[in-house]
C-alpha cells in the first residue's frame, strides 16, 4: 500500500472515530457500505475496506459476516486497561516482587527485579534473528513445536553439557516454555500434595510461590557462602524426608554465592543415601567468569535434574527453557508438557535463540556483559556502603548483591516506602522461609544506574519506623 | 560480513570438522590460537573467530573462558536426535494422537491431527509482522511480559466480546501462554485432587489428559447434535456434584456440533442452580460462518469462564491464549501464572498476533479459509462415503468430521495399521470417557488432501481383524 493510501486510510479512520466520539454513530449502528462510503469520500473502496478492517482490529467497529460493519458497544479508554496494574497495598509475599516488577510502568525503577535492563540485552543479534525468521519455512512460523523441541538447540545444549563432562544422551533432554515451566513440570511429575520439599534459606522467592501452588510442605536449609549448611542439610534430609531439593549451585539467587567442591560432594552423598532428587537451576551459568562446581556434573544426571533457560542472558520475551535428567522421567515429562501446554517450546522462540547463539556474537556479548557487571557491582558496593548497606559476600559474577541493612531497619518497610516513590525493592523476607532476613535486601546492580533509586532508599531509611 | 569472508569462514569450519572426524583432533584437544591459525591459513583473525564461534554454537568445540577453544567430547550424529520421536507402540490413550502428530516427520500424513496444514495459515501477514518486529522497541524483543499481557491485544478482545454482547471489564481478562495453559491455570485455581469434572462424551482428548494431570475424577455426559444431553447433564450435575464442566459450545471437538439456544439456556439454569463453573473453550469461533449461541454470552461471565487462543487460525508457533471471567478469579490466576510460568504471555507473540489482526488481511484470510474448508468438507464427505464411512453430522464450519465406520471396524485397530503406513488417525475412543466410540474416527478435512491417507485407510479396512 502506498504512503498516500496509508494517509487516506488513517484520515478515514479518524472520520469514523469522530462520528463515534460525537455520538453521530452509536453502538449497534451500521456503518455506510464500502461502495457508498468510498463514493461519498471520493476514495477507493480498498481504502475504505482497509480502514474498516483496522478499526475492527482495534475493536471500535465489528464486521458481521455478510452484513457489513457495525459500531461496537465498547468505549474503553486505553487507560482503563493501562491502569490494570498490581495493587500496591498487596502483602509483601513471595509474589510481591514479581508482580510489582512485571507490572511496573516504564517510569518505575527496579533495583529489586531479577533481570537485566533492556539495553543490556543482545538486540542487534535479536533483530538479525527476526529478519531471518521472516524468511524462514512456513512450518517454523505457524506449526506447533515437537514435544522435545528444536533439534538444533538440543544439539547445542548437549554439546555444552558434554564439554562440562556431562555425557547426556539425546533422550535425557527436552526443551520447555521457560525455566520456571521446567521446574513446574518436574514438580507435577514428582510431587503430590503434602510432600516435603527442601529449599535454601534464603532462596529465589518464586520457588516458594511455585511450591505453594503444588500444595507441598516447604522446609528451608540455612545457606552459607559455599552452599547449604551441610549439617543442617543432613539434619533436614534425615528428619523431614523431602522428595525434592531445589537450588541454584552457581551464583545462587539471592546471595550470589557458589557451591564449593567439598559441599557439592557431601550434598550428593547425603541426597543419594536418602534418595532425594535435586533440581539444579542453572540459569546464571553464562554469568560466571569460570564454571564453578555443579551437582549435575558430579552426579551425571542420576539424582540431579538440571534445568535452565535463556531469559536472563538473551531474551525473556522469546522464552525457552530445558530439562536434562533421567530418560524415563523426560519421557513422562513430555506427556505432561503436551497435556498441560500442548506442543513443545515455540519453534519461533527456538529459531531465534539458536540463530543468536549460532551467530557467534553471543559469546562476545556475554564477555562484555560480565565485564560491565563487574564494573556495576563495584560501583554499587561503594554507593551502598555510603548508606551503611553492606554486601553479605562479593559474588564472582551475576547481577545480585545480597545486602545487610544498618541496625534497626526492616527491608519490607523500606520496600513499601520506596514503592510509593516508584522504586521496586526486593526485601529479604520474600526470600526467607524462616522470615529471618528482614535486615537484608537483594540489589540488582545492573538496575541501580539511576540516581533516584539510591535517593529513594536513603530517604526511606531516614524516615523513622 | 562479506560473501567472501562467509565462504572462508565455512571453509575454515569444515577444515576443523574434518580434523575432528579423522581424529587428528580428539575431544579435549586445544585448537590453534586465533592468531596462529589465521597466519597458517592466510585468513584474517576475524574469520577464525567467526568460524570458532559458529563451531562452538554447534557444540563441536567450546571456548574455555580466557584459555582458547577445545574440542568437545560430543559426537552425536544429528539423526540420533532426529529419531527421538514417540514410540509407535505406545498405548492408544488420550495422549496418543497428540504425541504421534506433534512428533510426526514431515513425510507423515495427519488426517487425525487437530490443526490446519502450514500452507493454510496467513504466512504473508506473519512475515510482515516479523519484519516489523525486527524494528520494534528493545523491550518488546527482550523483556518479560506483564502478567495480564499486551494492552493492544486485550483491547481487541474486549472489543470483540462487547460486540457479542459480553460487557467484560478490563479486570476480567488476562492473556496466557496458550489456550491449553489457560484451562490448566483454571484447573489449578478451582480444582483439588479428587474433585469431579464433567466433560462431553466424546470430548477433545487433551481435556482428559489435562484433567488426569490434575488427579481429578472425570465424568462424561453424552453429547448430541445440539449440545450435551440435557437429562444426562442434569443427572450428572445432581448426582456427581462436579466442580467444573469443560466444553466447546461452537464447532465442538470432535463432533463439529454447536449448541442450540434452548440447550444453552437449560444448561446454564442447571449449572447455576448447582454452582457448577463452566469453562467454555472458544478456539473455533473464527471458523463459524455466523456466531452460534455461547454460554459466556448468555451468562455474562458469572458461572462461565471463556478461554480461547489464536493457534488454530493464526499460528501455533507464536502462541497466546486468554481467560475471561470473574475479576477475583483473574487476579488469583495472574498470581498462579507468575508462580508457574513467571511473566505473562510473550511480548513477541502478542506483538505478532496484534500486528496480523490489525493489518486487516486477517478477516479476508478467515473468509477464504471458511470457503476453502467448506469445499474440503464436501470432498471429504464424498470420498469417505465411498469407503462406507459416514459423518455423524455435517458441521457448519471448522475442519472436523466425526465419522462412523462401517459395521465390524475398530478405529483404534485402523489407527495402528495406518500409523505403520505413516498416516496418523484420531480413533474415536481417545475422545470417549465411556470408551463407546470404537466405531468412530475424527477426520481433519483440511489434512485429507493427499490421496495416500484414504488409500492407507482403505487398505487398513480391508485387512481382516
What gap in Å lies between CA B185 and CA B187, rounded to an integer? 5
Q: Where are the alpha helices (DSSP H) in B201-318?
A: 205-213, 230-240, 261-273, 295-299
The residue behind cell 563432562 is: A165
CB contact (8 A) between residue B57 and residue A357: yes
Chain A residue closest to B9 (CA)? A360
Q: Which residues of B touch A86 (CB under 8 A)?
A: 147
Q: Which residues of B touch A130 (CB under 8 A)?
A: 130-131, 133-134, 141
Q: Which three cell numbers stand for residue A146?
A: 515437537
Kindly report the nearest CA distance between residue A389 and chain B, in angstroms: 29
Please say whether the beta carbons of A317 and B141 come within 8 A. yes
The predicted model gives B230-238 an average pLDDT of: 98
What gap in Å lies between CA B403 and CA B381, rounded to an integer? 9
Pick from B26, B57, B88, B128 the residue to mutate for testing the A interface (most A CBs within 10 Å). Answer: B57
B261 pLDDT above the threshold of 50: yes
CB contact (8 A) between residue B57 and residue A213: no
B81 pLDDT above the threshold of 60: no
What is the predicted pLDDT for the residue at A422? 94
The predicted model gives A257-282 an average pLDDT of: 97
> Could you give the angle at the alpha carbon of A177 between the alpha carbons of B180 and B169, nearest 5°?
50
Per-residue pLDDT of B319-344, as tens digits, reads 999 999 999 999 999 999 999 998 88
What gap in Å lies between CA B442 and CA B424, rounded to an integer? 11
CB contact residues (below 8 A), chain A span 23-62, against chain B: 49-50, 53-54, 56-60, 62
Size of interface A-B (CB pairs under 8 A): 344
Per-residue pLDDT of B391-408, as tens digits, reads 999 999 999 999 999 999
Please say whether the beta carbons of B175 and A84 come within 8 A. no
Chain B residue closest to A354 (CA)? B57
**3-state DSSP percent of chain A in helix, strand and coil, to 5:** 50, 15, 40
Pick from A338, A374, A446 the residue to mutate for testing the B interface (most B CBs within 10 Å). Answer: A338
Q: Where are the alpha helices (DSSP H) in B224-260?
A: 230-240
**Other residues' Cβ atoms within 10 Å of the Cβ of residue B267:** 28
Q: Which residues of B touch A54 (CB under 8 A)?
A: 358-360
> Per DSSP, which regions of A1-122 are E strands?
61-63, 69-71
What is the percentage of chain B residues whose pLDDT exceeds 90?
A: 72
Q: Which residues of B touch A342 (CB under 8 A)?
A: 98, 178-180, 206
Q: Which three cell numbers stand for residue A162?
A: 558434554
**Other residues' Cβ atoms within 10 Å of the Cβ of residue A211:** 25
How far is CA B299 from each of CA B183, B191, B198, B330, rounded to the nearest angstrom? 19, 22, 19, 17
CB contact (8 A) between residue B103 and residue A70: no
Please say whether the beta carbons of B431 and B204 come within 8 A. yes
Q: Which residues of B touch A177 (CB under 8 A)?
A: 177, 341
What gap in Å lies between CA B217 and CA B386, rounded to an integer? 40
What gap in Å lies between CA B185 and CA A337, rounded to an integer? 14
Q: Which residues of B touch A319 (CB under 8 A)?
A: 343, 346
Burial pattern B44-54, b for ≥16 Cβ within 10 A else e, equals eeebbbbbbbb
CB contact (8 A) between residue A142 and residue B316: yes
What is the predicted pLDDT for the residue at A87? 60
Most trustworthy range by pLDDT among A44-53, A408-417, B79-88: A408-417
Question: What is the band of B288 on the pLDDT scale with cuts at 50, 70, 90?
Answer: very high
Strand, helix or coil for residue B185: helix
B5 pLDDT above the threshold of 60: no
Question: What is the band of B79 on the pLDDT scale with cuts at 50, 70, 90?
Answer: very low
How far is CA B216 from each of CA A119, A274, B96, B212, rounded to the nearest angstrom? 46, 31, 20, 6
Length of chain B: 465
Pick from A83, A91, A102, A307 the residue to mutate for testing the B interface (most B CBs within 10 Å). Answer: A102
A349 CB within 8 Å of a chain B CB: yes
Chain B residue closest to A359 (CA)? B54
What gap in Å lies between CA A397 and CA A289, rounded to an integer? 7
How far is CA B186 from each of CA A187, A386, B233, B319, B422, rounded to the nearest angstrom? 18, 48, 21, 18, 36
Tell me which DSSP letter residue A110 carries: -
CB contact (8 A) between residue A335 and residue B99: yes
Q: Which residues of A touch B359 (CB under 8 A)?
A: 53-54, 57
A292 CB within 8 Å of a chain B CB: no
CB contact residues (below 8 A), chain A span 313-342, against chain B: 314-319, 334-336, 338-342
Cis peptide bond prior to A254, omega within 30° of 0: yes
Partner residue opposite A123 with nearest CB, options B53, B142, B163: B142
- From the list B170, B225, B227, the residue with the least C-alpha distance to B198 is B227
B344 CB within 8 Å of a chain A CB: yes
B461 CB within 8 Å of a chain A CB: no
A407 pLDDT above the threshold of 50: yes
DSSP readout, B275-301?
T-EEEEE-TTGGG-SSPPP-HHHHHTS
CB contact (8 A) between residue B145 and residue A317: yes
- List the beta bridge partners of residue B278: B245, B304
Q: Which residues of A touch B55 (CB under 8 A)?
A: none
Partner residue opposite A141 with nearest CB, options B156, B315, B340: B315
Per-residue pLDDT of A280-292, as tens digits, reads 999 999 999 999 9
Whole-prediction pTM: 0.87
- Long-range pairs, A216-221, Cβ under 8 A, ≥24: A216/A187, A216/A191, A218/A433, A219/A433, A220/A432, A220/A433, A220/A434, A221/A245
What is the predicted pLDDT for the residue at B78? 42
What gap in Å lies between CA A207 and CA A95, rounded to an integer? 10
HSE-CB for B108 with a 13 A CA cutoff: 19
Q: Burial, A42: exposed, middle or buried (Cβ in 10 Å; 0-12, 13-18, 19+)?
A: exposed
Tell me which DSSP letter residue B344 carries: S
A78 pLDDT above the threshold of 50: no
Partner residue opposite A102 with nearest CB, options B53, B103, B343: B343
What is the predicted pLDDT for the residue at B106? 87
Please report the domains of chain A, with CATH numbers, ordered by start residue.
3-71 (1.10.10.10), 82-119+363-462 (3.90.1150.10), 121-359 (3.40.640.10)
- From the list A71, A16, A22, the residue with the least C-alpha distance to A41 is A16
The predicted model gives B416-432 an average pLDDT of: 95
A148 CB within 8 Å of a chain B CB: yes
CB contact residues (below 8 A), chain A span 357-416, against chain B: 357-364, 367
Lowest-pLDDT range of A138-142, A242-246, B18-22:
B18-22
A287 CB within 8 Å of a chain B CB: no
Amino acid at each position: 500500500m502506498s504512503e498516500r493510501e496509508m494517509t487516506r486510510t488513517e484520515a478515514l479512520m479518524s472520520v469514523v472515530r469522530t462520528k463515534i466520539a460525537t455520538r453521530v454513530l452509536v453502538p449497534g449502528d451500521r456503518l455506510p457500505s464500502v461502495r457508498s462510503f468510498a463514493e461519498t469520500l471520493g476514495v477507493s473502496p480498498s481504502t475504505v475496506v482497509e480502514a474498516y478492517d483496522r478499526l475492527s482490529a482495534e475493536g471500535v467497529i465489528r464486521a458481521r459476516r455478510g452484513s457489513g460493519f457495525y459500531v461496537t458497544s465498547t468505549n474503553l479508554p486505553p487507560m482503563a486497561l493501562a491502569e490494570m496494574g498490581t495493587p500496591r497495598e498487596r502483602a509483601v509475599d513471595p509474589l510481591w516482587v514479581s508482580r510489582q516488577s512485571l507490572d511496573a510502568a516504564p517510569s518505575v525503577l527496579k533495583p529489586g527485579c531479577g533481570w537485566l535492563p533492556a539495553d543490556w540485552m543482545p538486540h542487534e543479534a535479536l533483530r538479525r534473528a527476526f529478519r531471518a525468521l521472516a524468511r524462514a519455512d512456513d512450518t517454523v512460523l505457524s506449526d506447533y513445536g515437537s514435544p522435545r523441541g528444536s533439534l538444533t538447540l538440543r544439539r547445542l545444549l548437549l554439546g555444552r553439557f558434554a564439554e562440562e563432562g556431562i555425557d547426556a544422551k539425546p533422550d535425557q533432554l527436552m526443551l520447555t516454555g521457560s525455566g520456571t515451566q521446567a521446574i513446574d513440570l518436574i514438580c507435577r511429575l514428582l510431587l503430590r500434595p503434602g510432600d516435603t520439599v527442601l529449599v535454601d534459606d534464603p532462596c529465589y522467592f518464586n520457588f516458594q510461590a511455585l511450591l505453594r501452588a503444588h500444595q507441598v510442605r516447604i522446609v528451608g536449609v540455612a545457606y552459607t557462602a559455599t552452599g547449604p549448611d551441610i549439617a543442617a542439610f543432613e539434619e533436614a534430609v534425615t528428619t523431614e524426608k523431602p522428595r525434592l531439593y531445589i537450588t541454584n549451585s552457581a551464583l545462587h539467587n539471592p546471595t550470589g554465592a557458589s557451591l564449593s567442591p567439598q559441599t557439592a560432594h557431601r550434598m550428593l552423598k547425603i541426597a543419594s543415601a536418602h534418595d532425594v532428587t535435586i533440581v539444579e537451576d542453572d540459569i546464571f551459568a553464562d554469568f560466571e567468569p569460570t564454571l564453578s562446581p555443579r551437582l549435575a556434573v558430579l552426579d551425571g544426571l542420576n539424582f540431579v535434574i538440571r534445568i535452565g533457560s535463556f531469559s536472563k542472558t538473551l531474551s525473556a520475551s522469546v522464552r525457552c527453557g530445558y530439562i536434562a535428567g533421567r530418560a524415563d522421567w523426560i519421557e513422562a515429562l513430555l506427556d505432561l508438557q503436551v497435556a498441560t501446554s500442548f506442543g513443545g517450546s515455540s519453534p519461533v522462540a527456538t529459531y531465534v535463540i539458536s540463530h543468536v547463539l549460532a551467530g557467534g556474537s553471543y559469546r562476545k556479548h556475554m564477555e562484555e556483559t560480565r565485564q560491565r557487571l563487574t564494573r556495576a557491582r563495584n560501583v554499587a558496593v561503594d554507593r551502598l556502603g555510603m548508606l551503611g548497606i553492606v554486601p553479605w559476600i562479593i559474588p564472582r559474577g551475576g547481577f545480585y548483591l545480597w545486602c545487610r541493612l544498618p541496625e534497626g531497619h526492616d527491608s519490607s518497610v523500606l520496600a513499601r516506602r520506596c514503592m510509593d516513590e516508584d522504586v521496586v525493592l526486593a526485601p529479604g523476607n520474600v526470600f526467607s522461609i524462616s522470615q529471618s532476613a528482614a535486615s537484608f535486601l537483594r540489589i540488582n546492580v545492573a538496575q541501580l544506574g539511576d540516581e533516584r533509586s539510591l535517593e529513594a532508599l536513603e530517604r526511606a531509611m531516614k524516615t523513622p519506623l
